[in-house]
Amino acid sequence: MNTSFWKAGHTPTLFSAFLYFDLSFMVWYLLGPLAVQIATDLQLSAQQRGIMVATPILAGALLRLLLGFLADRLSPKTAGIIGQIIVISSLLLAWLLGVSSYQHTLLLGLGLGFAGASFAVALPLASQWYPPEHQGKAMGIAGAGNSGTVLAALFAPGLAYLFGWQNVFGLALIPLTITLLLFVLLARNAPSRPTPKALSDYAQALQDVDSWWFMFFYSITFGGFIGLASALPGYFSDQYDLNPVTAGYYTAACVTAGSLMRPLGGALADRIGGIRSLLIMYAIASACIAVVGFNLSSSLVALVLFVIAMLGLGTGNGAVFQLVPQRFFAEIGVMTGLIGMAGGVGGFILAAGLGAIKQHTGDYQFGLWLFALLALLALAGLLIVKRRWRTTWGAPANSAARI
């Protein structure tokens, strides 16, 4: 990464956006690694467990519209502070009052949805500081905050084993509070920000067919990443009889791969073009998930295939948001909210769907194959639109930008 990138924007804000996003994603994903232990104690079915881990994903998807609107109307920094306070309050109540029923887990999931909505704050906060030729890197670094899922997968099951899963909610308050203080002190809004958008602008954006394409593509890349991340602890436990801590380590390997590739995916898209990156990603992810669907006897082989699939999905996450500012720079707040919402909805459908399919068929096979098919459909859709994109709003508009 050359020195011109570090001189182009505001590094403390970029760091703050990453840290805020990272810790927010850690707690947004928290119910996933704890799912097996919570489900055992509360006697939840596979379908209830799936809906439990999917509820924060759906809540985060819908709330991204709200935080995206607040980021536009107030500022990204103000919206981030509001969201973080709500998340801290939700965890504090869960820790002090306890979570003793399936309904309580869903209520907590709704509160944690504000952590998932941090996506609509961190990306505009960072993006607005950087010119088009550095958008892929800036969005990739800020977006690498989805590595918070790694922290949850690595540490949450072990902490739950040592202290009880209820106390994990209290322990999570420590890094969250520190992060909020750093965010307040270090983050700055860009001096030049797009004009605030009205609610009608969201409806207007949906009239553009490119909005729907971006939403669909991201529902597969990010939806696949967070949906699989939430479902994998239960999958490894059900399919291979792994204990919760080991299943957490397996899941951590998968989400680490996807998280690391987000910033690298943005940089790769800057170099070879976002469309080409996405085409490669969809092919890799679809093939690996389809093979896993054959119910492999070896958990290690399944792990390797999931890691490769997550590498592809993480690359796709970076590539999608390398393209978004080129097409919708003036509407970045609106489009970040809409596209982020679509990614969350995709993750909810995948996580809840895998749980429901497991409940009713006794197996994950059909669910995995269905997701692999959707990735192929995304690849086909990208092939359909790529010529129009490249000739109407790509490199000719800005020779430094690559699509």
Q: How is residue 338 written in tokens?
A: 């809409």
pLDDT (0 to 100) of residue 396: 44
CA pseudo-torsion sign 196, 200, 202, 204:
negative
Note the pLDDT of residue 170.
95
Task: Give the HSE-up count for residue 170: Cα atoms under 13 Å, Cβ half-sphere.
Answer: 11
CA 65 – CA 117 distance, rounded (Å): 8
Q: What pLDDT does 203 receive?
A: 81
List, in order, residues 6 or more apart from 203 with CB less than 8 Å away: none
pLDDT of residue 341: 87
* Chain centre to alpha carbon of residue 368: 19
DSSP string, 132-145: GGGHHHHHHHHHGG
> What is residue 9's DSSP assignment?
S
Residues 313, 176: contact at Cβ < 8 Å? no
- The pLDDT score that the predictor gives to residue 2 is 58
Q: How far is CA 395 from CA 133, 274, 276, in A?
A: 11, 11, 14
- In this prediction, residue 392 carries a pLDDT of 73
> Could you tell me the sign of the dihedral formed by the alpha carbons of 19, 25, 26, 28, in that order?
positive
The reported pLDDT for the residue numbered 122 is: 84
Q: What is the pTM of this model?
A: 0.85
Q: What's residue 399's pLDDT?
A: 41
Residue 182 confidence (pLDDT): 94
CA distance 88 to 128: 27
In order, the DSSP letters of 152-170 are HHHHHHHHHHHH-HHHHHH
Q: Shortest CA distance to 335 belongs to which of 158, 207, 240, 144?
A: 207
- Given this model, what pLDDT does residue 262 score? 75
pLDDT in tens, the chain (403 residues): 556 666 667 788 888 888 998 899 899 999 999 999 999 999 999 999 999 999 999 999 889 888 888 887 888 899 999 999 999 999 999 999 999 999 999 999 999 999 988 878 888 888 777 776 666 677 767 766 667 888 999 999 999 999 999 999 999 999 999 999 999 999 888 877 767 777 777 788 888 888 999 999 999 999 999 999 999 999 999 999 999 999 999 999 999 998 888 777 877 888 888 889 999 999 999 999 999 999 898 999 999 999 999 999 999 988 998 888 788 877 766 787 788 889 999 999 999 999 999 999 999 999 999 999 999 999 999 999 888 887 776 554 444 456 7
Domains of the chain in start order, with CATH, are 12-187+198-396 (1.20.1250.20)
Q: Which of 362, 221, 361 is nearest to 289 (CA)?
A: 221
Closest Cα to residue 247, out of 329, 330, 321, 160? 160
CB 132 within 8 A of CB 401: yes
Gap between the terminal Cα atoms of the chain = 19
